[in-house]
Chain A
Amino acid sequence: MQSVQLTDFPHSPDHILHLFHEFQDRDSDSNFLSSSSVRQIAEHLDLSMAQVYGVLSFYHMFSHSPRGKYVIRLCDSLSCRIVGSLDIYTYLRRELGLQRKKISDDGLFSLEIVNCLGSCHTAPNMMINEQLITDLTLEKVKSTIQSLKEEVENATE
């Protein structure tokens, strides 16, 4: 994990969300804010640990526990629901083995439901990390997951 250059950020609490994004993005394998990241942010902004965790835990996009390398944010707003988001949700949970677990066994995926990704004309939608994927069908979801798995396999070979 690369480190975040804290000196680039002013010592002012209004930069906290930015720091959360930075630290979380650098932890590209587990997409979360470790207690060590939180401590660095707290020290830099002169906030207490409780204060930083308090802010972190308020926002959906940040996690204080490890997640998969790919965080799938599946939209289940009304616009997505009425064109099939629930089927995709059921499929993903089964396919990735996430009925009872938070992270898939291979450590690659975790699945979250979000309430709108602001692209309702292309519903159903999901985001995988920062990438918006639109006009989902089961086939498209299947192939997207497959290609991510292959990408990781190829990278480790």
Chain B
Amino acid sequence: MLNVNIDGKPIEVETGTTILEAADKAGIDIPTLCKHEDIAPLGTCGMCMVEIDGSPDYARACITQAQEGMQIRTHTRELRRIKRKLLQLVLAAHPDDCLQCIRHGECELQKLAEKFEIRDLEYEQYTRGLPIDSSAAGIVRDMNKCIGCGRCVEVCQNLQTVKAISFFGRGADTIVSPGAETNMGSGVCVNCGQCVVYCPVGALHEREQIDHVWGAIENPELHVAAQIAPAVRVALGEEFGMAPGELVIDKLYHALKMLGIDTVFDTNFSADLTIMEEGTEFLNRLAEGGPFPLITSCSPGWIKFGETYFPDLIENISSCKSPQQMMGSLIKTYFSETRGIPPEKIVSLSIMPCTAKKFEADRPEMNDSGFKDVDYVLTTRELARMIRQAGISFDKLEGTTSDSLLSAYSGAGTIFGATGGVMEAALRTAYELHTGKPLENINLKAVRGLEETKTASISIEGEELRVAVVHGLSNARELLSYVHKEQQAGRVPYHFIEIMACRGGCVGGGGQPIENSLYQRNLRGQGLYKEDAGLPLRKSHENPEVKALYEHYLEKPGGERSHHLLHTHYTRRNAYTL
């Protein structure tokens, strides 16, 4: 421990603490445009300069460690003057179309400009006139707005190891790019959207589909059937001033109905269904002796990553569609037949925490119903915009229920939204289906939480099953490299692996509210586990609507119809094919 003094306030911090962290502890906010609590310091923006007594130069608070006895000042007259000039330099290179910008009100540059009272620019403003890259299904890249902080590059290269974007060019012309002749749609980008949620400005954002959805709602010929992913229900409230992790599912059903959605289903239902199919697949592999490990397939960011970087492991990936796509094909078949609405009149809409779900819905093979299984995907953020457009006071809304048929869910379905949730849900069911005995302790805490790689072993009738859970694609890459190596040596390190592309799982998806740090992700995950604990049904195979679905329509898990509607296949991709 050591003692420093910041703006006259003494504070004791641990050795190795940066000045920025020390100030935060002292309740002093040092401005920054590049530092993010989840990302290693980049030191690029220069906004966190502080004055240290006895030092002739200012220091970057984000990369300078506090030393015993340091006297630090964060907002002297001179520092304010310098930072205002620096902000002006940034703003002169930034389009001044804030009112039309997707990040208006949530832009870190805008907030600092306001904080520092930038009312006029002494510098000549210029724009770069760069084309907007909207080639990717989930993400739009507008480099005119990029301030070059480097967070997205750090996230894509190191936290996700997708390596889809890099700095390109140099000096004032530097942008973030997938390459000279590659765009976001044609390169290795997996649409995870982690670059989006860490972007301080509007340079990277989701591809919006709000207009299409309004069009479908307003068309009297069309029946709009929506589904809501697990992770949305513990995050959407944040858009309306509620706390991260607060469960708002009942309000959400109501809001969707008020928007004019005809039928509201719940992806938690198809999460339970996924467990039935994937659990069966796992038990079949157990019976047949492999291939192991079985790897979950719910996270479309991970799927494209796996197809690109681990094509040899494709047969290890579960053939189950994700809950979104299972629901999509059921809406256009089972629901269509049950309600007598022709599938061509149904618009299937999903509300997702995820930008990669937009890519997944657009995959050419996702049309087993004979139609596009999911027509539109809205992120949590887009739905919040629609709710605001409709003038709905979401926080004051009464709750209501969803529509029957594809909505009932167990606690196992809801925890799909958090890292470890799919594994826990699967084991709850697989154990019982395999042994015929109820699982004594259904809270598998070993696979919960934000630890990067979680492993456990479960004994099922004397057989030791090793499982692993990873979230964040760098962790997936590390684990899979190990698995691949072991496989080549003829060993099976794990039987079952859950992979989620985003840290924290879907609660930290690229479509979630912009303030999407590990802090929020953790609280949202806890919100889901809390809901699970309070539900009457905790296991997927107890879901009555799932049972009814098998009884009336699918016959049995892994059956022929299931295979047709609920399972898919994967494509070997080459990271170097343009």
A and B touch in the complex (CB under 8 A): yes
Q: Counting CB contacts under 8 A, is A105 at the interface?
A: no
Q: Counting CB contacts under 8 A, is A38 at the interface?
A: yes
Inter-chain contacts of B164 with A (CB < 8 A): 48, 50
Residues 152-193 (chain B) with a chain A CB within 8 angstroms: 157, 163-170, 177-182, 187-188
Inter-chain contacts of A50 with B (CB < 8 A): 163-166, 168, 177-179, 182, 187-188
Q: Counting CB contacts under 8 A, is A52 at the interface?
A: yes
**Cα–Cα, bound, A29→B230 (Å):** 58
One of B157, B167, B182 near A49 (C-beta < 8 A): B182
Q: Counting CB contacts under 8 A, is A43 at the interface?
A: yes
Q: Which residue on chain A has the smallest CB distance to residue B171? A: A58
Pair A57/B168 contact, Cβ less than 8 Å = yes
Q: Counting CB contacts under 8 A, is B578 at the interface?
A: yes
CB distance from B422 to the nearest CB of A (A): 28
**Interface mask (B357-379 → A, CB under 8 Å = 1, otherwise 0):** 00000000000000000000000
Q: Counting CB contacts under 8 A, is A51 at the interface?
A: yes
Residues 10-54 (chain A) with a chain B CB within 8 angstroms: 35, 38-39, 42-43, 47-54
Q: Counting CB contacts under 8 A, is B575 at the interface?
A: yes
CB distance from A59 to the nearest CB of B (A): 8
CB distance from B136 to the nearest CB of A (A): 13
One of B169, B181, B188, B578 near A48 (C-beta < 8 A): B188
CB distance from B158 to the nearest CB of A (A): 12
Pair B169/A57 contact, Cβ less than 8 Å = yes
Pair B578/A53 contact, Cβ less than 8 Å = no
One of A35, A39, A53, A64 near B166 (C-beta < 8 A): A53
**Cα–Cα, bound, A58→B166 (Å):** 11
**Interface mask (A66-88 → B, CB under 8 Å = 1, otherwise 0):** 00000000000000000000000
CB distance from B130 to the nearest CB of A (A): 14
Known: A48-B163, A51-B163, A51-B166. A57 touches B180 (CB 8 A): yes
**Cα–Cα, bound, A38→B168 (Å):** 14
Known: A49-B178, A50-B163, A52-B179. A43 touches B576 (CB 8 A): yes
CB distance from A42 to the nearest CB of B (A): 6
**Cα–Cα, bound, A57→B182 (Å):** 14
- Count the A residues whose beta carbon is within 8 Å of the partner chain — how many? 18
CB distance from B306 to the nearest CB of A (A): 16
**Cα–Cα, bound, A56→B169 (Å):** 8
One of B157, B170, B179, B188 near A53 (C-beta < 8 A): B179
CB distance from B167 to the nearest CB of A (A): 5
Pair B576/A53 contact, Cβ less than 8 Å = no
Pair A54/B167 contact, Cβ less than 8 Å = yes
CB distance from B178 to the nearest CB of A (A): 5
Known: A48-B164, A50-B163, A50-B165. A39 touches B578 (CB 8 A): yes
Residues 269-305 (chain B) with a chain A CB within 8 angstroms: none
**Cα–Cα, bound, A46→B260 (Å):** 50
Known: A43-B576, A48-B163, A50-B163. A38 touches B179 (CB 8 A): yes
Known: A38-B179, A57-B180. A49 touches B168 (CB 8 A): no
Pair A54/B576 contact, Cβ less than 8 Å = no
Pair A64/B180 contact, Cβ less than 8 Å = yes
**Cα–Cα, bound, A64→B169 (Å):** 11
Inter-chain contacts of B166 with A (CB < 8 A): 48, 50-51, 53-54
Inter-chain contacts of A42 with B (CB < 8 A): 576
One of B167, B168, B180 near A35 (C-beta < 8 A): B180
Q: By CB atoms of chain A within 10 A, which of B157, B168, B178 has the most? A: B168
Inter-chain contacts of B168 with A (CB < 8 A): 50, 53-54, 57
**Cα–Cα, bound, A47→B578 (Å):** 14
Inter-chain contacts of B177 with A (CB < 8 A): 50, 53-54
Inter-chain contacts of A54 with B (CB < 8 A): 166-168, 177, 179
Known: A49-B182, A50-B179, A53-B179. A35 touches B578 (CB 8 A): yes
Inter-chain contacts of A64 with B (CB < 8 A): 180-181
CB distance from A55 to the nearest CB of B (A): 8
**Cα–Cα, bound, A38→B169 (Å):** 15
Inter-chain contacts of A48 with B (CB < 8 A): 163-164, 166, 187-188, 575
CB distance from A49 to the nearest CB of B (A): 4
CB distance from B232 to the nearest CB of A (A): 31
**Cα–Cα, bound, A43→B188 (Å):** 14
CB distance from A86 to the nearest CB of B (A): 22
Q: Which residue on chain B has the smallest CB distance to residue A58? A: B170
Residues 180-213 (chain B) with a chain A CB within 8 angstroms: 180-182, 187-188
Inter-chain contacts of A39 with B (CB < 8 A): 576, 578
Inter-chain contacts of B163 with A (CB < 8 A): 47-48, 50-51
Q: By CB atoms of chain A within 10 A, which of B177, B179, B575, B578 has the most? A: B179
Pair B170/A57 contact, Cβ less than 8 Å = yes
Inter-chain contacts of B578 with A (CB < 8 A): 35, 39, 49
**Cα–Cα, bound, A82→B142 (Å):** 41
CB distance from B329 to the nearest CB of A (A): 34
CB distance from B330 to the nearest CB of A (A): 37
**Cα–Cα, bound, A51→B182 (Å):** 12
CB distance from A58 to the nearest CB of B (A): 5
Given contact pairs A48-B163, A49-B578, A54-B167, enumerate 18 new A-B contacts (beta carbons under 8 Å): A39-B576, A47-B163, A48-B164, A48-B166, A49-B188, A49-B576, A50-B168, A50-B177, A50-B178, A51-B157, A51-B163, A51-B166, A52-B179, A53-B177, A53-B179, A58-B169, A58-B170, A65-B180
15 pairs across A/B with beta carbons < 8 Å?
A48-B575, A49-B187, A49-B575, A50-B166, A50-B168, A50-B178, A50-B182, A50-B187, A51-B163, A53-B168, A53-B182, A54-B179, A56-B180, A64-B181, A65-B180
